[in-house]
């Protein structure tokens, strides 16, 4: 039976480190890190995520602000808000919650954020820095997964890792970070033939597909580490991951639950990136 990886405990540890860093920065330079989260429209899931990001900022001693814009906001209006935040010296981290309403172009919006304030690590400059293994903010969810692996003592070096899902937010940066950590990475997606066989070879599985229970427990290699990035709602309206948890836990050596796993790490690493941005800008 697998060890259940405690995202609550690990994220609390990261938050405590961030809170300490925030206090030290304020002491040394008088600067309080400021995070502004921009949310456009009224997607209920986005509303929940944004609240937890803002709450996390306040709890670690930062300035946490949310800007709520109506779904009818134009591209020009949103770019104007971002320009103001770029120029605001009290703002060190800017995050525009995705997905955006269809009329808005997420690429143009992300590119408009000052890369030094891009605490998501989504700006093309920061994506480039990630690929080149240069310093810079790393996308929060995969960065949080790496921290979780370190905390449980799993070293990716020389391991076979399978990442399921090739999104810009999770799958692609996850594959890059694991490659830098010396894993042999296979990035799988909806057109990959025989996913079951790919997963069955993996000593590490990171599932980020967005389909409840898609990864079958019987696919998992005996003793593998399973990280479930899925945030789905099942027929009963309950939050659940991409992995068949009970069945996978019988084969894995360690597995993340949903809720209580990776989701909490995303917020913690966002706070860490905001502190880092404030240190660099201060
Ligand atoms: N939507 C889902 N995950 C994320 C994230 O990490 N950052 C932003 N900005 N939007 C998201």
Kindly state if the Cβ of 97 falls inside 6 Å of ligand 1: yes
Kindly state if the Cβ of 95 falls inside 6 Å of ligand 1: yes
Instruction: State how far the Cα of 197 lies from the Cα of 142, in Å rounded to an integer.
Output: 24
Instruction: Please give the structure tokens belonging to residue 102.
Output: 């269809």
Q: How far is the CA of 197 from the centre of ligand 1 (A)?
A: 30
User: Between the CA atoms of 15, 17, 18 and 23, what dihedral angle is there, to the nearest 10 degrees?
Assistant: 130
Instruction: Please give the structure tokens belonging to residue 263.
Output: 């989701």
The share of the chain scoring above pLDDT 90, in percent, equals 98
Q: Nearest-5° angle of CA 253, CA 259, CA 264?
A: 95
- pLDDT at residue 82 tops 90: yes
Asked if residues 55 and 64 have their Cβ atoms less than 8 Å apart, the reply is yes
Asked if residues 147 and 171 have their Cβ atoms less than 8 Å apart, the reply is no
Q: Compute how many other C-beta atoms are within 10 angstroms of the C-beta atom of residue 281.
A: 16
Kindly state if the Cβ of 228 falls inside 6 Å of ligand 1: no
Global pTM reads 0.98
Which residues sit opposite 38 in a β-bridge? 67, 96
Q: Residue 259, preceding bond cis, omega within 30 degrees?
A: yes
**pLDDT tens figures, 181-203:** 999 999 999 999 999 999 999 99
- pLDDT at residue 235 tops 90: no
Q: Compute how many other C-beta atoms are within 10 angstroms of the C-beta atom of residue 233.
A: 11
Kindly state if the Cβ of 253 falls inside 6 Å of ligand 1: no
Instruction: Please give the structure tokens belonging to residue 48.
Output: 């929940």
pLDDT at 131: 98
DSSP state of 96: E
SS3 letters across 131-181: HCCCCCCCCHHHHHHHHHHHHCCCCCCCCEEEEECCCCCCHHHHHHHHHHC
Q: How far is the CA of 137 from the centre of ligand 1 (A)?
A: 14
Asked if residues 171 and 186 have their Cβ atoms less than 8 Å apart, the reply is no
Task: Output the residue whose Cα is nearest ligand 1's atom 1.
Answer: 98
- So which residues are the catalytic ones? 53, 97, 120
**pLDDT tens figures, 152-179:** 999 999 999 999 999 999 999 999 999 9
Instruction: State how far the Cα of 159 lies from the Cα of 174, in Å rounded to an integer.
Output: 14
Q: Compute how many other C-beta atoms are within 10 angstroms of the C-beta atom of residue 261.
A: 27
**pLDDT tens figures, 56-81:** 999 999 999 999 999 999 999 999 99
Asked if residues 83 and 27 have their Cβ atoms less than 8 Å apart, the reply is no
């Amino acid at each position: 039976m697998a060890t259940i990886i405690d995202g609550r405990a690990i994220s609390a540890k990261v938050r405590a480190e961030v809170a300490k860093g925030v206090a030290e920065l304020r002491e040394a330079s008088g600067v309080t890190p400021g995070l502004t989260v921009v949310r456009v429209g009224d997607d209920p899931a986005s509303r929940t995520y944004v609240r937890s990001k803002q709450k996390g900022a306040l709890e670690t001693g930062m300035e946490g602000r949310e800007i709520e814009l109506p779904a009818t906001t134009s591209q020009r209006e949103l770019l104007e808000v971002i320009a103001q935040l770029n120029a605001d010296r009290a703002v060190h981290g800017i995050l525009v919650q995705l997905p955006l309403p269809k009329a808005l172009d997420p690429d143009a919006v992300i590119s408009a954020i000052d890369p030094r304030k891009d605490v998501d690590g989504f700006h093309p400059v920061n994506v480039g820095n990630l690929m080149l293994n240069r310093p810079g903010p790393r996308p929060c969810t995969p960065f949080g997964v790496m921290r979780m692996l370190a905390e449980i003592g799993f070293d990716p070096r020389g391991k076979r890792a399978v990442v399921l899902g090739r999104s810009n937010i999770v799958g692609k940066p996850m594959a890059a970070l694991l490659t830098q950590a010396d894993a042999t990475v296979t990035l799988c997606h909806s057109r990959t033939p025989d996913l079951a066989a790919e997963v069955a070879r993996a000593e590490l599985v990171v599932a980020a597909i967005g389909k409840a229970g898609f990864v079958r427990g019987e696919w998992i290699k005996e003793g593998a580490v399973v990280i479930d990035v899925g945030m789905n709602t099942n027929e009963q309206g309950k939050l659940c991951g991409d992995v068949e948890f009970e069945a996978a836990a019988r084969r894995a050596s360690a597995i993340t639950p949903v809720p209580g796993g990776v989701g909490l790490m995303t917020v913690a690493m966002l706070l860490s990136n905001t502190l880092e941005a404030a240190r660099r800008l201060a």
